[in-house]
Amino acid sequence: MSLFEKILSVSAEDIEFNPRGLSIVERLDFLINPRRLRGSDFLMRWSQGIWSEERLVQAVNDTGEFFAIPYGPSGTAPDEIREFELYFERLEAAGLGKNKRPDLLIFSGSSRQVVESLLQKVGGVRELPFISEDADSIRKLLNLALLAVECENSLWKARLMPDYGADLKPQKRLNGKPGLKKTAVLPTIILKEEDREPLLKWQKANKIPVHIWHVFYDMAFGLSLNEAQGLIERKLILPTEQIFQAPGGATTIKRIYKIYYHYGYLLGNSIQEPDLRAKFIEDRNGHILPYVHFEGGRMALSGDALKILRELENARR
């Protein structure tokens, strides 16, 4: 599976749209050739992923104390679908498609001038994934970072999820450890098994703590990678197998960890909802594939999140 398709893969349980005439769409040659997007879900998830990372960057930057920059390939990629595809084709051609880097880097506001100067020297944030982390400019950049962030998102209003607010109780399947029934529907912080070891290795090699920030429509939660690893090792969180489908139709089974939000911290709350706008792509035959595009909105970091960032800043002094 290409990196482009891997990035756009959607959990089968999250595929909701099945427009009439989809079987015809599958056989058409889209302008984003050679990929074949089979439904609106993939485009909508792509749009929401970009939107959620933008909200995190905005929330951090609005503090005035800290600022964030995209760092991983998905975060630095363009926000137009054709350019997005070409960007990942370039990554693969350069042999860099398998490199795992966190999505965002967080810095102290006092470092902004130095960081911006370093970014200018390397050609801007979109060039970061093409530059080795052994390069002097990237080492200087990483030496200034307080925190690295792996971003996840879900198309849910967290507060309206049926089991939001439910207490963890002893579960037989967890050998009496606290949890909720397997069918519970509540906010979770997701860590993919395929990302776990690469992120742990990256964290150790660069001596920068990694946190997972999971964005919902109305709020967001955070959890350190070390705490996530501890929960997994103590079997407080068990892996779940899910089928993921790529735009071209290929399916893979992946293990993921759905970590109860109870174990994390409130990262932030939405203070302005986004606009959901209709967009579409068009194939050479004039066939239209519509999707929902997320635009605007604002999020504010919580006091807990600010406390964590300030503690990391003080530890670096």
Residue 25, pLDDT score: 37
Q: Which residues of the chain have pLDDT under 70?
A: 1-2, 12-41, 97, 248, 283-285, 287
Distance between CA atoms of 219 and 269, rounded to whole angstroms? Answer: 4
Angle, CA of 221, 70 and 143, to the nearest 5°: 95
Residue 62, pLDDT score: 97
pLDDT, tens only, 110-134 = 999 999 999 999 999 989 988 989 9
Residue 283, pLDDT score: 61
Residue 27, pLDDT score: 35
- The rounded Cα 138 to chain-centroid distance in angstroms is 22
Residue 30, pLDDT score: 40
What does the domain layout of the chain look like in residue ranges?
A: 39-236+259-316
Rg (CA), the chain: 20
Which residue reads 């005439």 in tokens?
21
pLDDT, tens only, 13-23 = 665 444 333 33
